[in-house]
Amino acid sequence: MAAAPPSDNVFIGDLPVDLSKEDCEAVFAQYGTVTSCRVNPPKAGGKASALVRFASVEEATWVIENLNGNLAEGLEEPIVARFANAPGGGGKGWGDSQGGKSWGKGDQSWGGKGGKSWGGKGDESWGGKRSEPYSSGKGKGKGKGKGKGKGK
């Protein structure tokens, strides 16, 4: 997974399960001006995490460079610190979701052309002109049917 770009928002992991918002703000205010803090409850059997926003990218960068894998004053175990992902940007997954792009180039989606897919017209959809091994009834088939033919 690619690292999130530098910002003033820091993800802090491996926090104590009983850490309150106030305790979190107090711990990280020692390292910079905390403008907001959100403590996330632990997942089953895990540790808590937090999103801490600092007054500047420089403060956030210092925290990441100096506290990641280390003890923060007031905590008993090392923490994880990294730049937080942008809201709603937890990963691209299967589609881009921005600009209507998904599974194709440009404005194509699932093989459609010019933004038409799954029902476009002509060659641009699943039901348009197709090249497949089945005859449409028009044309000269070369198959061996069960009709009456010349026997030997």
Strands 48-54 and 34-40: antiparallel
Encode the chain (152 residues) as per-residue pLDDT tens digits: 678 999 999 999 999 999 999 999 999 999 999 999 999 999 888 999 999 999 999 999 999 999 999 999 999 999 999 999 988 765 444 444 444 444 444 444 444 444 444 454 545 445 555 555 555 555 555 555 555 555 55
**Angstrom distance (rounded) from CA 119 to CA 140:** 29
Alpha helix (H) ranges present in the chain? Answer: 21-29, 57-67
Give 80's Cβ-side CA count (13 Å radius). Answer: 12
